[in-house]
Structure formats: structure tokens, C-alpha cells
Amino acid sequence: MTDPFAWPEGVARHALAEVDSTNAEAARMAPGLTQPTWIFAHRQTAARGRRGRGWAAPDGNFGATLVMRPSGTPQEAAQRSFVAALALADALALVAGPGVTLRLKWPNDVLLNGGKVAGILLESAGQGGAVSHLAIGIGVNLAEAPPPEVLEPGAHPAASLLGETGLRIPPEEFLAPLANAFDRWERQLATYGFAPIRTAWLDRAARIGQPITARTGTEIFEGTFETIAEDGALVLATPQGRRVIPAADVYF
């Protein structure tokens, strides 16, 4: 049996004491990389989340980015958000043990006992329908969750691994099980395509069959979370009919 704490073959790692943002560092390093590389930092001074939002990164929390050169279209590259979510759930389950509940919130959050414990940010560069590099940024509240007063109105409540379980995991010790889990799911994607990733994600999805609100940049949709499409888009059953939404923020 493969050691879940072993470092995956063919994957590099780059550890930093401090950086502005691991995703920004990934973009700077990408042109010279020859293999998938994890960039880990003990401290980020300008960490960010989706849509340019700030991401709180206090000491003891985890922040890292995997930078890679995926084949395929930008839409296929974006499916790595589901790979990353599954890997995060596996790694958190491994370190937390059986007494926690982990669920995946579309499009890119992981919930621990109902609270947001981790987020994923994908950024890519390329031209002509090709992706030159993909950066998968991951932040995990290992030690501390942001208090409610600093969250956006309507944002999902936050949680931390320490707060929910009493377990204190040093951030550098979380990197190997996460990288190992991502490697396993990435190999599934490369061998079998997105279908088994989609199935596994749906098995852990939060709020399937329940009412949710999806907000795009211009519209708000309310309906029942039906499933995700074969490409990963959100499928919502609304009073106006079935909606397939490629990108949005979801509120419960």
C-alpha cells in the first residue's frame, strides 16, 4: 500500500519562509519549470481568493500552490479544481481521523463539520486555446478561522481544523499528504477522464437536492442544486427551468 505521507514521484517542491502570494510566485517560476511543482510558504503577505478577494493567512494556517503544464483546453484544465477538492478532503480526513464530516461546496471550497475550512483558487495563462501553465492555489485553516465580522455578508461560516478537532498540524506536515492525494486523483483524471472525478465529487457534495443561491457577475439564480454537468458546471433546477451555470459564487 502506498504511504499517504510519501512525496509523489515526478513532482518537485519549493519551500519559502515568506512570499507575497504562492500563486504569484507560481506565475514567476512557471517559465523555468520542467515538472509539476508545489510552492509552499510559511507566510503570505498578499494572499488572495477568488475574484480578487483577500485571503486571511495567519501563522499556523496552510498556503501552497501547485503549478503545472496541463494538456487540453482551458475548460479541461479548470476541472483540476475538483481534483484539488477531492485531494483536500482526502488529506484532511487522513490527518483529522474519522470523527469529522467533510463536504465539498461547489465550485471550490471544502467544508469541515459544516464550516469552510479550505478554499481553492485556479489561475492560468496561455493563448490560442492552449494553457501554458496552471496554478492551483490552496489555503487551509489548520490553526485559525477568520472571525464572522471579517467575512463578506452572506459568506459561508468558517472553521479550522484545530477548532473542530483540537488537533494542531504544522503546515509543512500537511503538504505531503495533500500532494500525494492530488497525485492519485490527477492520475485518475489522466487515465479515465473527468467522469470518475465528477462521480467522486458528487458523492461528497454539500447541499445536493437542496435550495441554494448562485450569483454570477450579472445574475442571481435561486433553485435546487440538482447535480454538476459532465464538464463540472453547476446544474440548478429553478422555477424558470433548468439552468447550467459554468461559473458563480454559491450561497446556502
Burial state string for 191-226 with b = 16 or more CB within 10 A and e = fewer than 16: eeebeebbebbeebbbebeeebebeeeeeebebebb
**pLDDT of the residue at 95:** 96
Mean pLDDT computed over 51-79: 85
* Residue 89 main-chain phi, psi, to 5 deg: -60, -40
**pLDDT of the residue at 85:** 98
Range from 53-57, 67-71, 208-212, 232-236 carrying the lowest mean pLDDT: 53-57
**pLDDT of the residue at 159:** 96
pLDDT over 70 at 56, yes or no:
no
pLDDT over 60 at 51, yes or no:
no
Average of per-residue pLDDT values in the chain: 93
Q: Please give the domain boundaries of the chain with CATH numbers for all domains.
A: 12-203 (3.30.930.10), 211-251 (2.30.30)
**pLDDT of the residue at 168:** 96
Predicted confidence (pLDDT) per residue in 146-180, tens digit = 888 777 777 889 999 999 999 999 999 999 999 99
d(CA 30, CA 111): 30
Per the model's pLDDT, the better-predicted residue between 82 and 51 turns out to be 82
Per the model's pLDDT, the better-predicted residue between 146 and 94 turns out to be 94
The DSSP result for 172-226, as a single string, is HHHHHHHHHHHHHHHHHHHHH-HHHHHHHHHHTBSSTTSEEEEE-SS-EEEEEEE
**pLDDT of the residue at 146:** 87
